[in-house]
Structure 1
Amino acid sequence: MTFIRPNFRHPENHTNEVGYSIKNYEGALSTLCAGCGHDSISAAIIKSCFDLNLEPHKIAKISGIGCSSKTPTYFLGKAHGFNSVHGRMPSVTTGANMANRDLLYIGVSGDGDTASIGMGQFAHVVRRNLNMVYIVMNNGCYGLTKGQDSATADKGSASKKGVPSVFDSIDLCQMALQLGAGMVARSFSGDKHQLIPLIKAAIKHPGFAFIDVVSPCVTFNNTPSSTKGYEWVRDHLEASGTIDFVPSKSEIKIDYPEGSSRKVTVHDGSELHLQKNAADYDLSSRKEAMNRIETVKEQHKILTGLIYHDESEADTHGRINSVNAPLNSLSQAELCPGSAVLAALNESLR
């Protein structure tokens, strides 16, 4: 049976400040399993880009291999896109970013694509602080190859095949913290009220922004014994705070009791307001972020929300002191200044 997306839109369906409707941010109809958490993440990306008034042609979406890496087909159909080989999304994104720093880069990956074959690539793109949004759609299994456990499957967790995992899991948020990511967050595909503000904050973050999204696989890994299934995750969430994203154009004054909130100002003047719970901690401390993740793990829960945020570090371009103009706009004379410049450079090294 063939499915097509209907063209009808309600006459009161509004457009954003750049004149686009939500339809302009959609993609093809999803072919993932009905109920897949990945589709909810795609919807959150669509809503985030619409609300932030982004122009789709100024966005590049890049992925690797896996169920998650199919999703760029389903959002931002008018954006630039590149589907790379397994685990190589970070290096392709790095190359594209070096050629044109003016685009917004959204990298989509899976737990297998990142935590196994792509682990080396993930580690280096984090430590270089590439200016990109890195979203992992984490279901704890290899959905395209019949549900084998991935490296993020928790020890003792059992998928549809019924055999508990015998290995300790890799926590990608902890890895990102150790490697120097400026923004680290975790969310659940079934919680759009938390996920959408996190994606907006990641888009506005100047540098590497990482979001690990627990996204249940409804076909192979959605059993009561799986720690990546809908039932288990909904019963074991521990949120770091109630999160909202407030654009800078809207002046909002809120009076919070002392010590109960923190305001994070991102590079364009926008603000991320957090109303924190009683077990508050300093968002700018990597040590406290790591400790909080471990504490919640010991309670057999999943920590979600904004875990760490620091925008003080320069991104890749700032660290290597690259030119401000996109490399693809430079002329031949600028890229190859001639033998005289080379001779002068060699002479300076003698």
Structure 2
Amino acid sequence: MSYIRKPKFQHPDLQTNDLGFTRRDYEGTLTTLCGGCGHDSISAAIIQAAAEMSLEPHKVAKISGIGCSSKIPSYFLSKSHGFNSVHGRMPSVATGANLANKNLHYVGISGDGDSASIGLGQFCHIVRRRINMLYIVANNGTYGLTKGQLSATADLGSKTKAGDESLYDNIDMATLAIELGASFVARSFSGDKQQLIPLIQAGLTHKGFAFIDVVSPCVTFNNTDLSTHGYKNTWENYVSLGQIDFVPMRKEITTSYAAGKDKEITLHDGSVIHLHKAGKNYDPSNKENAIHHINTHKNNGEIATGLLYINQSNSDFHELQDTVDKSFNELSFHDLCPGNETLQEINHTFK
């Protein structure tokens, strides 16, 4: 993968987090994507989220497949572990890495081709296995790396800049993730960092499989008014279920506001957020309600965004498989080879 190193110089007065790191410490190489690509906004959101959370870079693993979206891990957290896998096979690599070491934060970056076409089967299985990770799909409805063909997530009737029209219904990644058992499902727009950053932070701290479908317009091949994944259409038709904010476990901040009303809240650092509460009829812990909400807005030509579904009581992969508490690289020789007596006990269970 081609890359350009960033200059190492940092201003001595840059703000630092709890670990003494600046935002620059969470950056990666210079981007080689097209100028204005929505994917770079996703990189920036991940950088900001990690810096605010004071994540230790060496405790983060970033994994991707193939495509424009899969170049993103090169652009954030340069001091973290990274693996650029085979096209559509990122879920297998992420599953294996997570099985070997469950004590890392796993961030999977994929695209609508990598996850909804060649990697659709792998995506389905990593969701149903409840791997503890954050899985982000940079969704632009087009195959940008191969010059702009319509992807499987392109809406029926949507057109590319070249005028090609989608003749098929799309694969809705958020609905699919909910159906398959993901315990955290959200959708956002790459141009809305106020919504995207806290969603990423919440996904990173969620126990279980967290999925975020990010509408990320392709400025080269799909930035047209005829595309439902273009900037203009997304800005005009995306509907936020409710702006959320991630507040670390420090001092509790509480507020109350009526359903459907906005509320201004001052956070610990003095910044201000605006919350919008969904109506009383919406319950994000209800699968059927979440899917109905997505489809209702879709039928109206709108894009439902925000935290769509969450299940905080779901077991993750390691609980289901009853794996050891230690990561594989921390297991001693005795842990791996407990001796002949233990081996005989195991063999006896097969009689």
Give the equivalent residue in structure 1 for 2:74.
73
Give the equivalent residue in structure 2 for 1:94.
95
Is this contact kept in 2: 1:143–1:220, CA < 8 A? yes
Alpha-carbon shift at residue 258 of structure 1 (Å): 7.2
Q: For 1:18 and 1:346, how far apart are their aligned partners in 2? A: 49
- Counterpart AA for 1:326: S
Give the equivalent residue in structure 1 for 2:133.
132
Is this contact kept in 1: 2:53–2:201, CA < 8 A? yes
Pair 1:73–1:58, CA change in 2 (3 A): same
Is this contact kept in 2: 1:240–1:280, CA < 8 A? no
Give the equivalent residue in structure 2 for 1:116.
117
Is this contact kept in 2: 1:189–1:195, CA < 8 A? yes
Alpha-carbon shift at residue 105 of structure 1 (Å): 0.4
Alpha-carbon shift at residue 126 of structure 1 (Å): 0.6
What whole-Å deviation, never above 9, does each CA across 1:34-56 have from its counterpart, x for those lacking one? 00000000000000000001011
**Segment drifting more, 199-208 vs 278-287:** 278-287
Give the equivalent residue in structure 2 for 1:57.
58
TM-score by length of 1: 0.92
Is this contact kept in 1: 2:63–2:94, CA < 8 A? yes
Give the equivalent residue in structure 1 for 2:342.
341
- Counterpart AA for 1:55: E
Give the equivalent residue in structure 2 for 1:44.
45
Give the equivalent residue in structure 1 for 2:208.
207
After TM superposition, list the pairs within 5 Å mapping 1:107-186 onto structure 2. Answer: 107-186=108-187
Q: For 2:240 and 2:305, how far apart are their aligned partners in 1? A: 5
What whole-Å deviation, never above 9, does each CA across 1:70-98 have from its counterpart, x for those lacking one? 11111000000000000111110111111
Alpha-carbon shift at residue 259 of structure 1 (Å): 9.2
Alpha-carbon shift at residue 274 of structure 1 (Å): 6.0
Give the equivalent residue in structure 1 for 2:268.
none
Pair 1:338–1:58, CA change in 2 (3 A): same
Alpha-carbon shift at residue 145 of structure 1 (Å): 0.6
Is this contact kept in 2: 1:63–1:82, CA < 8 A? yes
What whole-Å deviation, never above 9, does each CA across 1:297-340 have from its counterpart, x for those lacking one? 11100000000011211111111000000012212332233443
Pair 1:86–1:303, CA change in 2 (3 A): same
Q: Are 1:24 and 2:25 matched, yes or no?
A: yes
**Segment drifting more, 244-253 vs 62-71:** 244-253
**Segment drifting more, 224-233 vs 277-286:** 277-286
- Return 5+ residue gaps in structure 1 as ranges: 262-272
Q: For 1:259 and 1:102, how far apart are their aligned partners in 2? A: 39
Alpha-carbon shift at residue 260 of structure 1 (Å): 7.3
What whole-Å deviation, never above 9, does each CA across 1:196-222 have from its counterpart, x for those lacking one? 000000001011100000000000011
- Counterpart AA for 1:112: G
Indicate the SS of the match to 1:136.
strand
Alpha-carbon shift at residue 12 of structure 1 (Å): 3.4
Identity, % of aligned positions: 57
Is this contact kept in 1: 2:259–2:279, CA < 8 A? no
Give the equivalent residue in structure 2 for 1:232.
233
Q: For 1:278 and 1:259, how far apart are their aligned partners in 2? A: 5
Q: For 1:108 and 1:76, how far apart are their aligned partners in 2? A: 13
Give the equivalent residue in structure 2 for 1:282.
283
Give the equivalent residue in structure 1 for 2:303.
302
Indicate the SS of the match to 2:136.
strand
